[in-house]
Amino acid sequence: MNIMGHLQQLGRSLMLPTIVLPAAAIFLCLSALPWDSFGMPSIHTHLLTAGQTLFAFLPYLFALGVAMGMTSNSVTAGLAAMAGMFIYTGIINASHYELEPTVFTGVIIGIVTSILNEKFKTIKLPEYIQFFGGPRFVPLIVSVFSTLWAIIMVQIAPSIHNALMELGDIVNSGGGFGVFLFGFVLRILVVFGLHHLVSHVFWFQVGAYQAPDGHMVFGDLPRFFAGDPMAGGFMAGLYPTMMFALPAIAFAIIHEAREDLKPKIRKTFMTAALASFLTGVTEPIEFAFLFVAPYLFVIHALLSGLMMWLTYELGVRTGFSFSAGAIDYLINEHLATRGWLIIPLGILFGLIYYVMFRWAIRRFRIPTPGREEGSQLDEWAGDIPYRAPLILQAIGGKENILQMEACITRLRLKVGSDKLIDNNALKHLGAAGVIRLGGGNVQIVFGTYSELIREEMNKAIRRDISRVLFCSPVQGRMMPLSEVPDPIFAGKLVGDGVAFMPEKGELVSPVLGKVIHVYSSMHAIGIRTPDGLEVLLHIGIDTSQLKGQGFSAVVKEGDQVKPGQLLITFDMQKIRKGSKSLATPMVITNSELVSSWSFAPFKSVKRGQASVMSVVLKERSGGGETA
């Protein structure tokens, strides 16, 4: 794995421990209620303790999360990291220095554990001590590392403590400009999924605060929840962007959509706007214009940094436990300083964004969703189990996947060959964008459905079933068979499948198989797959009467063909004039062999585009289970 691959995996791993922070924020918020008036004074203490405990054990959570995230959820690595943290904490607590484990400590132990796990999990020792070999060796070697590191840290504790204090002073000396740079870089790194690397440093390491009970707290986020009135400068400015600016972009995209596509786009982007406003999940909106207008994304990043600078200079100090959405804003407002300014600033910021994006989309004719067919970000949560096999094929099949993980908004993949990934097919199936980081490391942005997609893809990989996947035989628009203007095909009397309205006079093979029949008029062709499915491709309706005029077959009966291979060329103008319709059905004539069907969205497709249809064969003698 290359450096970018390591970094994207580390970025995802750093997110895992933060999923507990919303619980801590809720407990702290509830502890502020007047429990004495309710006759339950002890509840305040219990809730406060619950919230503070999660922050106190953050180093342990980061050690566990990073170790497991970097090793594909290895339980052994997680156990070894926790053992290492216990040893480290025990040794430094026994020293006379006031040195406490920080999140940085947890991250280091987690990273080292993942490295040692990969290196020693298969180690073989002499037979008489092989009990300690293999995975059992990992906790042992991690314990040795943690012991040595703790001893070293005790010796250099005063220097480390002072260095962290000075680092906070240096960052704070940058004032608003430093916050601006943080905000700008944070948005840019969202593109590569590496934003957690920079945010982790500022939110969990930079700056120190001595809590009332005497212990030191490091990082903007823990300091904010510990009651530091100066904390929150690296978080407050994100609220206007996520609660107002990104939803404003969504509204601009809706209002600039074509009238015929506007209802669908409105539904999709209203959902995306609500997700950004409430939870701070922004990728579905940002990726809607990132690839078609990257210069707009740079401007967006600059404006986001400027908003952070402005809130900092106005003395707004507020924070969040997970992300800068309205839910976190309401929960944590009682701890904020001048937090009320977020609302008017956000409204003004949102208006600027709305006007700017509507003008740019119209002025530069930016193909944002809804301005052309095949718009991204389709609404298809209920279809995930059916589309997962199609997504799997678009990635290059299970053989191409070396590693697959998911964070909140994207699949993070390590593939054997990124050349096998079909970008058009993935966008057709709902992906907002595909990011290639090199070395086989790929990110596919599916929004908040990413984890569900990963689960369904894993199920599809584990199932022992016979599945046949189809590519698009033409360039054009995919349509249900019922819309074909012919009662024979529409009634599925010939077989079941889909149809296409071609835009170019080329027919290619949708599957791997053998040509079993080429009609003398060359308007249709039959292919048998290795699984025994018989696929009929019929160009146009009532085209047999043309007696071959306008058609030219490139293959003959008995030829072996593969997906995307040219079969027939045809003159669209001649066929349009001499036939009832150009609608081209693709049907399985022996569909009694099929157990279940999956279809991609009925919209524009490219010739040879992967993943337009998937079928599962019925169980045969000695075969697998049916779906």
Q: What is the residue type of 531?
A: D
- In this structure, how many other beta carbons lie within 10 angstroms of the beta carbon of residue 270? 15
* DSSP letter, residue 590: T
- Alpha-helix residue ranges (DSSP H) falling in 215-334: 220-226, 238-240, 246-255, 262-279, 283-290, 294-313, 326-332
Residue of 498, 501, 499 lying closest to 477 (CA atoms): 501
29 is catalytic: no
- In which region does residue 141 sit, left (phi positive, over 0), alpha (psi from -120 to 50) or beta (all else)? alpha
Using CA atoms in the order 182, 184, 188, 193, what is the torsion angle rounded to 10 degrees? 30
Give, as one character, the DSSP assignment of residue 45: H
Q: Which of 137, 153, 24, 33 is nearest to 91 (CA)?
A: 153
Please state the length of the chain.
627
Cα Rg for the chain, rounded, in angstroms?
A: 29
Catalytic residue among 331, 395, 407, 605: 407
Q: How many CB atoms lie within 10 A of CB 401?
A: 19
d(CA 607, CA 504): 9
Is 14 exposed, middle or buried, given 0-12, 13-18 or 19+ CB atoms closer than 10 A?
A: buried
Calculate the alpha carbon distances from 80 to 68, 104, 105, 115, 150 in Å: 10, 17, 14, 12, 16
Write out the H or E segment, with its range, that includes residue 160.
Answer: helix 157-173
CA distances 544 to 519, 522, 540, 575, Å, are 9, 8, 9, 10
Q: Which of 414, 404, 450, 400 is nearest to 4 (CA)?
A: 414
> How far apart, in Å, are the Cα atoms of 372 and each of 229, 261, 367, 369?
49, 8, 7, 7
- Lookup: tokens for 59: 């180093």
With the CA atoms of 181, 182, 184 and 188 taken in that order, what torsion angle do they form, in degrees rounded to the nearest 10?
Answer: 130
User: Whole-angstrom Cα distance, residue 103 to residue 110?
Assistant: 10
Say if strands 566-570 and 506-508 run parallel, antiparallel, or are unpaired.
Answer: antiparallel
Active site residues: 407
